Chain A
Amino acid sequence: MDRAEKIGLGVATAGHVLLFGLLSAGFLSTPNPLKLNSPPMDVSLVDEVALKSMAPQLSTQPPPPSVAPEKGPTEDAAPAPEPEPQPIPEPEPVPAPPPPKPVPPKPVAKPAPPKPAPAPPKKDVPKATPRPKPAPEKPAAPAKPAPAKPKPAAAAPARSAQKPAAKPKADAPARASGQGKAEKPKGSLLGKDFLKGIDTEADAPRKAAPPPAAAMGPAQKAALDAEIRRQLKPHWRPPSGADADQLVTLLEVRLDKSGNVIGAPQVIDQLGVTASNRPQAQLHAERAIQAVKLASPFRNLPAEFYDQWKWLRPLRFDARLNR
């Protein structure tokens, strides 16, 4: 090893020590651009997806308009002289004086075209208001009712006739209003007249608007099934025998709101019937029905989901039920 090599060795050693020292001290260090610590992620466990929405339904229709305030502001009706004193007996005076003129012609006019029979009353009866009603009811015998009616009509102004009469009136004023008798019908027909602008036909569907009853979620359904099964279990004694554990009886059971069975459970179907367990099949079904009857009334069923358990179909009885 000559001098040059000694120098070379010394320089190389010094250079390596220097280089690695600098590298160790962070020379040329690049700050880690990728922060590898990934922050924890929020994971929420959601329920099994149901096909039906379980949220209460919001009614898209506006609430039905209150009728009372509309009737109140009838200023036209207020001046009406006679009927005002008693609000309730209002209808009474109406039928008595006016009927002869406006009412008979109209109701009679309708039945007249289709049936010749009512025609005679038309001439005879200027007196009887209720006549038109009975007349269409019994087209076969117009003559008999005619005499009968006049008496009640005369004696008791409209007490008995009032209700039958109310209907014809409802129709009548619409046409009758055109005739000079506007004031008196107005008093009695106030409600209908003033509701003209309101869609009265829409009232019925509004009242029947879907209640906010919830559909059951899968978890609730499972809980309900488990509850029913739990209550059936002590009363369920399946027959034993060859292959009897393969038998499955499907029942249809109706329950009332307190959990009592309505009527007798019906066997919908029996599954798993083989040649070897056929003798037990009938017994199996009977035991199933017996179990339902013994378990009745069912307790602890949620009343708000009555729709879901009022008709249990199919109610399954098999070997698993008593496991």
Chain B
Amino acid sequence: MPEVGAAVGAAAANATISPLALFLQADIVVKVVMLGLLLASIWTWAMIIGFSFTLRKASKQSAAFERDFWKAEDIDRFYEARGKAEFPAARVMAAGVTEWRRSTAQKVIDREGTRDRLSTTMSSTIGAEVDRLSDRLNILATIGSVAPFVGLFGTVWGIMRAFTAIAAEQNSSLAVVAPGIAEALFATAIGLFAAIPAVIAYNRFSHGINRMESGLTRFADGFYSTLSRELEAQR
């Protein structure tokens, strides 16, 4: 491994500065920083890819479910057919229907109490669905705000080390200074490389979840008003 590193280092010295060579030349602290940032970057992209799949699927299914729901003649039959699915709108509807059935099963129906329970149950289900969706979104936020600082820490450490090396060699020519500073700056580069997609994805997914939450709330309000009308009809 050392000879590979030396060969890569020599190639980097005369041709270009390759990331692998910079990583291998770096100090242990800078190496740890670089590795951590690289893992953060991988995690960020894994979350971006997985989350965009999940969110798109959920919003698509919810939109189709709402469309079908408003066309449905009988809510009970529609619920029996499609109400057991595993996506937010179906769960909100399932919660509402479940509470409706429990409340109307008794002899004496407390209408106000039933309305309150329906409203509370569905809004809490919406909250639970949003929480479940945005479960790991805070990780993106953390990476987006912290990765630049971690990279900066690696850079400062590497530059300190480079200057110590200059002082030891008593030679301040650019050829001596440049590699150390380049490898130090590489830490910041990786930090930004991880942080920029994380910040963009966080904003994008926050917006998507907000939109989904407002969509679920609209659906729940519509369902609630339907159930409330049904409740008045029951004598």
Contacts and interface: CB of A to CB of B under 8 A. Distances in A.
Interface size class of A (residues with CB under 8 A): 20 to 34
B34 to A, nearest CB: 11
Interface residues of B, number: 25
Contacts of B47: 5, 8
B2 interface: no
A8 B54 CA distance: 11
A25 B50 CA distance: 29
B132 to A, nearest CB: 11
Taking each of A8, A16, A25, which has the highest tally of chain B beta carbons within 10 Å of its own beta carbon?
A8
A36 B46 contact: no
Contacts of A80: none
Q: Majority SS of interface residues in chain B?
A: helix
Interface string A1-27: 010111111111101100010011110
B170 interface: no
A7 B38 contact: no
Nearest to A9: B46
B16 A30 contact: yes
A81 B54 CA distance: 142
Interface string A116-128: 0000000000000
B16 A11 contact: no
A36 B15 contact: no
A24 to B, nearest CB: 4
A9 B18 contact: no
15 contacts: A2-B54, A5-B46, A8-B47, A8-B48, A8-B53, A9-B50, A12-B42, A20-B19, A23-B20, A24-B20, A26-B15, A26-B18, A29-B16, A36-B174, A36-B175
Interface of A: 2, 4-13, 15-16, 20, 23-26, 29-32, 36-37
Given A9-B46, A9-B50, A26-B18, 19 more contacts: A2-B50, A7-B49, A7-B50, A8-B47, A8-B50, A9-B43, A11-B45, A12-B42, A12-B44, A12-B45, A16-B42, A23-B20, A24-B19, A24-B21, A26-B15, A26-B16, A30-B16, A31-B15, A36-B174
